Structure 1
Amino acid sequence: MALEDLRLSMILTLAFIFGLTTLAFVFLLDVFGLASPLAALIIAVVFNVGQWLVSPFLVELFYHVRELPYSEAPHVHQALEEVVARSGLREKPKLMIAEVPYPNAFAYGSPLTGNRVAVTRGLLNTLSKEEIAGVLGHEVGHIVHRDVQIMTFVSVLPAFFYILGRMFLYSGGDRDRDRSGVIALGFLSLFIYFILSLANLHLSRIREYYADYHSVKTAPSPSVGAARLMSALAKIVSYTGRMKLQGAELRVAGFKELFIADPDRAVEDMESLEGYQLARRIAERRVTLADKILELFSTHPNIVERLRRLEELGRYEKL
């Protein structure tokens, strides 16, 4: 998928998400006579902006995030500074560490906190400096493309309609006719939740490809950028997969769309890499129909397809 196709797909997906959300808000509030269409639009905007502003604090609380001192990991700060310089950002994002054992990284932020990039303790213990630089290039790509704002903006919307649907289904009405109408609204809310969830997952996969491209583009050369990010992703998937097979409980239920790799799919992705010397020779594996169907319900692209595209990017002399 070319960069122009990725950008167009992202714009169309966002238009669909916000269009459907706005229509649903207006319809549901108008049905119950709770607000006029104009008031419904205002409520929708306030709701979205409010959850965007507070989401960084929830992320830091959930994953035990703190600022990473320069003295504790100077090589990580240096790698981030190099990536930021090549990305053309005016200000270096604040570097944070999440005290969780599995390797991963994520970018997040809001006007209240500024841009932040977090690496996990497991990442520092698993990857080399070059691989960490590849991961940081990916996360800075999310900041450059404003994915941080976009994904925190849309991530709560499906959950809202899920809660609304359950509330309608369990509350019912005083009369049979009222109850049937409320139940219908409940199922409609759950249907909207399902459609928004699929749209969000599609958007999340697009932004991962887009950020991968940025990591490769800002490396000393495309071949170096592709190689170090491929190696990093392979290690992240393999290490996390082994931890899960050994019975480790990974706290990944919330905000996993922010991660560079989906921890919930680590075992499946690890199995996809076995026999191919991790990232090398990955293009030889065929992506099956089952792989493509499973990808529809994942926050991240299929690991085989993702590494294959990185390998293709590495063949360019200049991006």
Structure 2
Amino acid sequence: MLLDPLYLIWATIGYVLMFFIAAFVAPKLANKFSGRLSLYTSMIIIASLTIGIFSIVIAVIFTMLSNYFGNIIEISGLISFVFIGVVISNLLMYFLSPLLINLMYKTEKNAKLQSIVDKVKNKLNYRGKLNAVVTRNFSLPNAFAYGNFIFGKYVAVTPGMLNLTSESELEAVIGHEIGHHLHKDNAVMLLFGLLPAILYYLGYFLFRTGLFYRGKRESGSNAILAIVGLVAMLVSFIVQMLILAFSRMREYYSDMVGAKASGKKMMQYSLAKLHYYYKGNQYALSNLNNNSTKMLFIYAFSNVIANPLKEFEIDEIKKEKYSAVEEFLSSHPPIPKRLEFLDKLPY
């Protein structure tokens, strides 16, 4: 079945199309959006586009299957079964994730870090308790926000980040992470993450079912079933690319909060230090890229600088080239773009 010609043809077309969009179309669209549309407008457009594509594809699948197979109740049941299964599994992960992350990173409370988190939280008028923790078995410089209303909300900082940044820079980093809590990014990204998962598993089920029955008995209807499933899987990757773009915008959104907490220069310095650290340490970068929770980190785009950075060093980073394809496939924007974005803020 893996050598099925239909599968190979459509898979090849899908991957070629995806990388063409990543390499040529997406960068041009991004350049047009920047400068003309605000961050908020861009997020609304991408969110609407994502939901719209998902809704259209589900409607097309439902209509096509109804026309070819006629049993609307059975088709509705199939779509509902996939939807409920994906939602339940994702909700379980969302609710259990704080416990799993605490176990995975062996987090522990830190009184000094808690006082800094409380200070920044009050400055940002965040209402609610935030637990400040330090990771014990992950020391690379980074920070992340996680949690929910059941098991509590957390701001985690690694020992490497504590050593890398000054207190003012650390306040900017913590402000960025509190921004994720303010914007409810964990819940927002969970909801958007359901869309490609539903399309993929629905498509996979239809595709495998079509192939199985084609092997038993040649029929146009079964071929249609396989094609519809394959198209749904292909569209799930496109929707995932849109969600990654949405995630990158949420990072800019939280950078704004970090700048508000401690000034845009402190936010820039903390990002620049992370950039220099991982640029000069390929082992650390590889370790980070292979981490299963890297999407949570403040730095997740593909010698520790303990001294303050100079202005020209920040300017040099802004001039650095970066891969449009890597950016397109990443949940975080490249550091040069984040530094340029911060320049435009009034803080």
Find out whether 1:158 has 2:190 as its counterpart: no
Name which one, 1 or 2, has greater alpha-carbon Rg. Answer: 2
Alignment of 1:150-299 (within 5 A): 150-171=188-209, 172=211, 173=213, 174-177=216-219, 178-219=221-262, 225-245=263-283, 249-250=287-288, 252-263=290-301, 265=302, 278-283=313-318, 285=319, 291-299=323-331
How far is 1:93 from its partner? 1.7
Match of 2:90 in 1: 51
> Quick check: 1:109–1:149 contact (8 Å CA) kept in 2?
no
User: Residue 5 of structure 1 aligns with which residue?
Assistant: 38
CA deviation after TM superposition for structure 1 residue 105, in Å: 1.6
From 98, 110, 114, the equivalent of 1:70 is 110
Distance 1:117 1:247 in 2: 22
Change (3 A) 1:41 1:20: farther
Report the alpha carbon displacement of residue 126 of structure 1 after superposing the two structures with TM.
2.7
Whole-Å separation in 2 of the counterparts to 1:28 and 1:227: 50
1:139 to 177, 192, 200: 177
1:84 to partner: Cα distance: 0.6
Provide the C-alpha distance between the structure 2 equivalents of 1:59 and 1:158, rounded to a whole number of angstroms.
Answer: 23
Q: Which amino acid aligns with 2:265?
A: A
Aligned to 2:7: none
Question: What is the deviation of 1:109?
Answer: 2.5
Contiguous gaps of at least 5 residues in structure 1: 220-224, 266-274
Matched, 1:310 2:342: yes
1:270 corresponds to which residue? none
Give the structure with the higher percent helix: 2
The offset of 1:7, in angstroms, is: 1.5
Distance across 2 between alignment mates of 1:238 and 1:208: 19
Q: Note the 1:111-150 alignment, pairs <5 A.
A: 111-150=149-188
* 1:51/1:156 contact within 8 Å kept: yes
Measured in 2, the distance between the counterparts of 1:15 and 1:8 equals: 10
Cα shift readout 1:14-48 (whole Å, capped 9, x = no counterpart): 23323433444455467375656599579747844
Shift of 1:128: 2.6
TM-score scaled to structure 1, two decimals? 0.76
Separation of aligned partners in 1, 2:286 and 2:331: 21
Q: Do the aligned residues in 2 keep the contact of 1:201 with 1:297 (CA within 8 Å)?
A: yes
Task: Report the more deviating stretch, 229-238 or 196-205.
Answer: 229-238
Unaligned runs of 5+ in 2: 1-33, 303-309
Kept in 2, the 8 Å contact 1:137–1:215? The answer is yes
Report how far residue 77 of structure 1 moved: 1.5
CA distance in 2, matches of 1:150, 1:261: 20
Which residue type is aligned with residue 208 of structure 1? Answer: E
